[in-house]
C-alpha cells in the first residue's frame, strides 16, 4: 500500500519549469523546483511528502519520441505502489501528445499519474502553474489513488478541469485553453475535491478502480524496442498540393492525414490536389495511409469521404487526432507486421481512448 501523502514528482521542463531571462522564457533548474516552494506557501496546502526527480529539462516544443523513452525509464525506476500518486510537470505545447502516450505506456499503473503545465512561467502573476500543481495533488489525495493517467489544467473561467490522458486535445494558440472531444472533460477539482463530470462516456471512479488493466506495451515490447519517430502528419487546407510530398528519398513508416470537422478532405479535387491521387501514391510507395478524425461512420457521409472509403483508405474513427497519432507512433515503433499493428490499433483499448459515437457531448446536462 502507498504511504499516505507521499507523491513522486517528475520534472521535465516546460513553461512550468521556466524563468523569464531578460524577456526570453527558457527552462531553468531553479525554476523547476520553485514549484514545490510555491506550493508550500499556499494556505490550503496538504500535508504531503514529495520525492522529486528531473529526467528531462526541455521546452516541450523541442520534445522528441526518445524523450518519452527517457521518461518511461525514470517511471520504471520507482515502485509506484509506494506512492499515493505521481505528478509529471510538462510544457503545454505538446502536453496532449505526451498525455496520450503515457496513457498507453502506463495503462497498467496502480496509482494516478497526473500531468500538469502552466500558461505562463511561475513568476508571472497570470500563471496557473501552482494552481494546476495544487489541483493535481488534490485529485490524487481525494480519489484514494484511482489508477490512470490524467491532466489537470485551470481554464480561463478558473475551473480546474481534469481530463483523461487520451481525451485531451491540443492547446489553442490564442486562448491557451485545452479541449476534449465533444467538449467533455472527465471532471474538475473544486475546493480540494475531485468531482466527476457525469456522462455515459465517462467511466465512474468505481469503474476506473475496478477495470481490468491492460498489460503495458512498454513492458511487453521486444528486446531493443523503443518509441521512435517515423510518422508523417498532414493537415488539409484549401489548395493543398500533394506533389510536394515526395517519398523517393526517404519514406515515412506511415502517414496520418487529418480531416476537416465533417470528416472530409479534398478527395475529388483535380490532379495534385486530390487526396485520392495521394492515396494511390502512398500505396505504390508501400506507405500506410490513415485518415482521422471521424466521429461516426454510421451517419450520412459526404461524397468525398465515401469515395475515399471505396478506394480502401483506412479511417480511424472515434479517436482524437492526438490519441490516434500517438497510438500509431507506438504501433509502428513496437510491431513489425501489419497484422500486429492493425490488431493493436483496432482490437486493443488501453485507457479509454476510443469514444462512443452514440454518446455525444450534446447529451450533457
Give me the residue spans of the domains in the chain.
6-214, 229-347
Order of strands across the sheet with 231-234? 231-234, 254-258, 288-294, 314-317
88 or 359, which is more confident?
88
3-state secondary structure of 255: strand
Provide, rounded to the nearest whole percent, the portion of the chain with pLDDT above 70.
Answer: 92
3-class state of residue 276 by DSSP: helix
Say yes or no to pLDDT of 361 above 50.
no
pLDDT higher than 90, residue 324: yes
Q: Is residue 297 a contact partner of residue 317, using CB atoms and an 8 Å limit?
A: yes
Phi, psi of 364 (to 5 degrees): -65, 145
Q: Which residues contact 133 (CB under 8 A, 6 or more apart)?
A: 16, 35, 38, 39, 87, 89, 116
Mean pLDDT within 35-56: 94
Q: What is the pTM of this model?
A: 0.93
Equal CATH topology for 6-214 and 229-347: yes
- Classify domain 229-347 at the CATH topology level: Rossmann fold (3.40.50)
- Residue 32: predicted pLDDT: 62
State yes or no: cis peptide before 36, omega within 30 of 0: no
Quote the pLDDT of residue 145. 82
Q: Mean of the pLDDT values across residues 229-249? A: 96
Instruction: Give the residue-averaged pLDDT of 169-183.
Output: 94
Question: 120-153: per-residue pLDDT in tens?
Answer: 888 889 999 999 999 999 999 999 889 999 999 9
- Distance between CA atoms of residues 89 and 110, nearest Å: 19
Q: Does domain 6-214 have CATH number 3.40.50.300?
A: no
* Beta-sheet pairing, 254-258 with 288-294: parallel
Distances (CA, A) of 231 to 26, 227, 255: 28, 12, 6
- ∠ CA(264), CA(254), CA(247), 5° rounding? 100
For the cut 70, the answer to whether the pLDDT of residue 365 exceeds it is no
Mean pLDDT along residues 203-209: 91
Per-residue pLDDT at 25: 59
Active-site residue numbers?
A: 15
Confidence check: pLDDT of 364 > 60: no
**CA nearest to 322, candidates 172, 217, 202, 170:** 170
What percent of the chain is modeled with pLDDT above 90?
76
Residue 29 has what pLDDT? Answer: 61
Amino acid at each position: 500500500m502507498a504511504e499516505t501523502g507521499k507523491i513522486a514528482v517528475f520534472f521535465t521542463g516546460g513553461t512550468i519549469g521556466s524563468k523569464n531571462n531578460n524577456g526570453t522564457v527558457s527552462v531553468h533548474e531553479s525554476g523547476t523546483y520553485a514549484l514545490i516552494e510555491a506550493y508550500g506557501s499556499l494556505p490550503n496546502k496538504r500535508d504531503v511528502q514529495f520525492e522529486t526527480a528531473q529526467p528531462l529539462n526541455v521546452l516541450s516544443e523541442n520534445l522528441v519520441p526518445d524523450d518519452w523513452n527517457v521518461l518511461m525509464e525514470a517511471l520504471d525506476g520507482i515502485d509506484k505502489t509506494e506512492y499515493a500518486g505521481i505528478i509529471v510537470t510538462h510544457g503545454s505545447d505538446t502536453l496532449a501528445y505526451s498525455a496520450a502516450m503515457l496513457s498507453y505506456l502506463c495503462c497498467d499503473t496502480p496509482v494516478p499519474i497526473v500531468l500538469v503545465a502552466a500558461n505562463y512561467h511561475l513568476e508571472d502573476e497570470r500563471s496557473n502553474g501552482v494552481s494546476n500543481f495544487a489541483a493535481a495533488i488534490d485529485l490524487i489525495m481525494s480519489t484514494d489513488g484511482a489508477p490512470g493517467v490524467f491532466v489537470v489544467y485551470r481554464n480561463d473561467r478558473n475551473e480546474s478541469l481534469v481530463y483523461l490522458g487520451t481525451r485531451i486535445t491540443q492547446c489553442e494558440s490564442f486562448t491557451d485553453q485545452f479541449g476534449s472531444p465533444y467538449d467533455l472533460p472527465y471532471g474538475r477539482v473544486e475546493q480540494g475535491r475531485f468531482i466527476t463530470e457525469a456522462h455515459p462516456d465517462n467511466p465512474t471512479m468505481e469503474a476506473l478502480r475496478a477495470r481490468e488493466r491492460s498489460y503495458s506495451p512498454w513492458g511487453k515490447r521486444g528486446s531493443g524496442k523503443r518509441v521512435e519517430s517515423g510518422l508523417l502528419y498532414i493537415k488539409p487546407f484549401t489548395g493543398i498540393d500533394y506533389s510536394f510530398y515526395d517519398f523517393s528519398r526517404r519514406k515515412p513508416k506511415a502517414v496520418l492525414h487529418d480531416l476537416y470537422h465533417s470528416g472530409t478532405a479534398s478527395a475529388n479535387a483535380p490532379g495534385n490536389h486530390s487526396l485520392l491521387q495521394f492515396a494511390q501514391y502512398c500505396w505504390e510507395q508501400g506507405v500506410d495511409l490513415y485518415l482521422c478524425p471521424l466521429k461516426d461512420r454510421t451517419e450520412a457521409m459526404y461524397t468525398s469521404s465515401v469515395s475515399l472509403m471505396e478506394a480502401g483508405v483506412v479511417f480511424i474513427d472515434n479517436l482524437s487526432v492526438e490519441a490516434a497519432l500517438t497510438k500509431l507512433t507506438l504501433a509502428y515503433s513496437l510491431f513489425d507486421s501489419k497484422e500486429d499493428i492493425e490488431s493493436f490499433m483496432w482490437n486493443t483499448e488501453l485507457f479509454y481512448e476510443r469514444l462512443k459515437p452514440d454518446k455525444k457531448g450534446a447529451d450533457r446536462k
